[in-house]
Chains A and B, each alone.
Chain A
Amino acid sequence: MKPVIVTKGITKTYQPDTIPVHALRGVDLTIKEGEFVAIVGPSGSGKTTLLNIIGGLDRPSEGYIEVGGKDISALSDNALIDFRRDNIGFVFQAYNLIPVLTALENVEFVMLLQKLPKDQRHKRALELLHAVGLDDKISKRPIELSGGQQQRVAVARALASKPAFVLADEPTANLDSVSTGQLLDIMANLNREEQMTFVFSTHDQRVIDRAHRIITLEDGKIISDQLGHG
């Protein structure tokens, strides 16, 4: 399988002028197509920082990063935004969705930004909402959905643009165990059936147990990288 994410010697230092915080201290990482990766580690170990850099939301202080074979550090602002739109699916911890749009419209939104024709958008959005088990909620606004349902819509949206991989920073942090289980089932299914690559951070042991590969960060460094039980 070809690599979708390659990082070499990534460091990230916050507030380099005053009291520097070394959030990442040299991270070398390769993630291949079809992997189902959990990034774990204590609070403050640099999980979010790493995901943000991989996702092109933040730039590293030092080091090399390649996504889908492309050096994203060289991209201009608009090119980077378009790159994210077309290649990366994001699921954040909460409040992923546009409150004034229905579930269906939220999923269609990224495809709208990609200027896909209306019927194509509609069809794919329906398929994705079906895949996350929300056929009966397509015209509901986020506020009418439970936290777990909202996260499932977010997963559907993340997949809408047919990205190279999905990044999810603690996607289950605000969910009860039932919803957590459902979301993981959906993600695992998509991973298995469509070879979609997932990279997610978590503190939750039940989530860690489902991962195929577990990368542990501590103090801005990878201290272990092993196969999971999932």
Chain B
Amino acid sequence: MLLSLAWRNIWRNKRRTLITAASVLFAVLFSSVMQSIQRGTWDHMVDNVVNYYYGYIQVQGKKFWDDRSIDEVIDRQTLLEQVPDRIKEDYPLVPRLESFALASGGNRTQGALMIGIDAAKEDQLTGLKGRISQGDYWESSPEGILVGEGLAQNFKIGVGDTLIFLSQGYHGVNAVGEYPVRGLIHFASPDLSKTMVYLHLTDAQQFYGTGDQVTSVVVGLKDKDEVSTLVNTLRSDLDTSQYAVKDWQQMMPELMQAKEMDTASANVILIILYIIISFGILGTILMMTKDRQYELGVLLSIGMRRMQLFGMMWMEVIMIGMLGVGLGFLISVPLVKYLSLHPFQMSGEYAQAYEKFGAEPIIPPAFDWGIFSWQVLFVFIITSLLALYPFWVIRKMRPVEAMRQ
């Protein structure tokens, strides 16, 4: 009956209850939509970079990440011997040999990131084949290179034309090679599009003179949640004086930092929003307590304990808060669901910013129940804390004084 009493009490002043619930509704709607968009956007961006290029985990030569030198190669066989069988069985291990080279054609020369890959495994990992916009994925002939559309445009070349590459090879040898362009690859990021060159791993090993060595091995996993356990296993099983195990966050520190800053500033906005809402709720609680002094005095007189009185008022406040949360969900859950299924396209400056990080310029809000349950928790905590005010009033209340009106 206390519960039903509390429920009926909040409807004594319908307008006040509805306005308060509506303010909570607004906060919940705003923050869940905003957080979903934000989370989704960053996830999307990170996924793009991870899926198109880095992978979630790479094993590299100890100093390769910092030096970027072709001399920091590792022997694939030696590495594989140290990798536990379980990992070898469950996850594709995708080798790469990458370094910078000068590309030259006609009277133009520019830098390029030349990456030797295992064509089949690489496609399995990054879906590279699906991004071929012209030519083929070495199906018609095993020779030649795939280049970014941007790079082809710079050189004004197409499929069938050749490019000459120059670089410093293993231990200082001269690396020179001439390769026909086999196909063009589409990249969302203009930067990548202008620099990426893929060739067969064996061709790259020949070009750089490394023998059967690679600069990195990508561990092909699809589930982000497995990353940390896998990284830990690899770090304990591999000889860490020789190898470095990098996860995706370590491989893109700028992106991670940008994400953190963005999240932090969004959280500040949400906190301010909730502080404003809190004042509104507090106002309602003050009125609720003041309007009912006499009645609370009667209840105390006829034998309702202070804790029971407080429990009743606490429930009233929580009910109003949860009413707001519930109504907020009624709108925000379907809205976020819809937006996550129909992401909208960005344009202008924002689009450029996303492309800079290698992501497609779309906003796909993440649909995550975690975001919604967080709202419930947050509103519950806020209202619970604010509902301590009646406790304070009731604790000191004297029936005779409360009833003298």
Q: Report which of B11, B299, B398 forms a contact with A98, defined as CB distance below 8 A.
A: B299
Question: Contact size class for A?
Answer: 20 to 34
Quick one: which of A94-122 are within 8 Å of B by CB?
95-96, 98-101, 105, 109-110, 112-114
Q: Is there a chain A Cβ closer than 8 Å to B370's Cβ? A: no
Q: How far is the CA of A110 from the CA of B304 in the complex (A)?
A: 8
| Cβ-defined contact, B303 with A161, below 8 A | yes
Residues of chain A within 8 A (CB-CB) of B302 are 84-85, 90, 109-110, 113, 157
Q: How far is the CA of A100 from the CA of B316 in the complex (A)?
A: 13
| Cβ-defined contact, B301 with A55, below 8 A | yes
Q: Report which of A82, A96, A112 forms a contact with B298, defined as CB distance below 8 A.
A: A96
Known: A52-B400, A57-B399, A92-B403. A85 touches B303 (CB 8 A): yes
| Cβ-defined contact, A99 with B295, below 8 A | yes
| Beta-carbon nearest neighbor of A52 in chain B | B400
| Cβ-defined contact, A113 with B304, below 8 A | yes
Q: Is there a chain B Cβ closer than 8 Å to A176's Cβ? A: no
Number of B interface residues, CB 8 Å? 22
Q: Is there a chain A Cβ closer than 8 Å to B68's Cβ? A: no
- Give the interface segment out of B1-9, B98-106, B173-181, B217-225: B1-9
Residues of chain B within 8 A (CB-CB) of A157 are 302
Q: How far is the CA of A90 from the CA of B298 in the complex (A)?
A: 9
Q: How far is the CA of A213 from the CA of B298 in the complex (A)?
A: 28
Which of A86, A109, A161 has the most chain B CB atoms closer than 10 A to its own CB? A109
Q: How far is the CA of A47 from the CA of B342 in the complex (A)?
A: 75
| Cβ-defined contact, A81 with B12, below 8 A | no
Measured CB to CB, the closest approach of chain B to A144, in angstroms, equals: 15
Residues of chain A within 8 A (CB-CB) of B399 are 57
| Cβ-defined contact, A112 with B1, below 8 A | yes
Q: How far is the CA of A86 from the CA of B304 in the complex (A)?
A: 11
| Cβ-defined contact, A81 with B5, below 8 A | no
| Beta-carbon nearest neighbor of B404 in chain A | A48
| Cβ-defined contact, A95 with B303, below 8 A | no
Q: How far is the CA of A161 from the CA of B302 in the complex (A)?
A: 10
Q: Is there a chain B Cβ closer than 8 Å to A136's Cβ? A: no
Residues of chain A within 8 A (CB-CB) of B93 are none
Quick one: which of A57-85 are within 8 Å of B by CB?
57-58, 77-78, 81-82, 84-85
Residues of chain A within 8 A (CB-CB) of B403 are 92
Q: Is there a chain A Cβ closer than 8 Å to B300's Cβ? A: yes
| Cβ-defined contact, B303 with A100, below 8 A | no
Residues of chain A within 8 A (CB-CB) of B308 are 113
Residues of chain B within 8 A (CB-CB) of A109 are 1, 302
| Cβ-defined contact, A81 with B300, below 8 A | yes
Known: A92-B298, A92-B403. A99 touches B12 (CB 8 A): yes
| Cβ-defined contact, B295 with A95, below 8 A | yes
Q: Report which of A77, A84, A99 forms a contact with B303, defined as CB distance below 8 A.
A: A84
Residues of chain B within 8 A (CB-CB) of A57 are 301, 399-400
| Cβ-defined contact, A84 with B301, below 8 A | yes
Q: Is there a chain A Cβ closer than 8 Å to B294's Cβ? A: yes
B positions within 8 Å CB-CB of A: 1, 5, 8-9, 11-12, 294-295, 298-306, 308, 398-400, 403
* 17 residue pairs bridging A and B, Cβ less than 8 Å apart: A52-B400, A58-B398, A58-B400, A78-B306, A81-B300, A81-B303, A81-B305, A92-B301, A92-B403, A95-B294, A95-B295, A98-B295, A98-B298, A100-B9, A101-B5, A109-B1, A114-B303
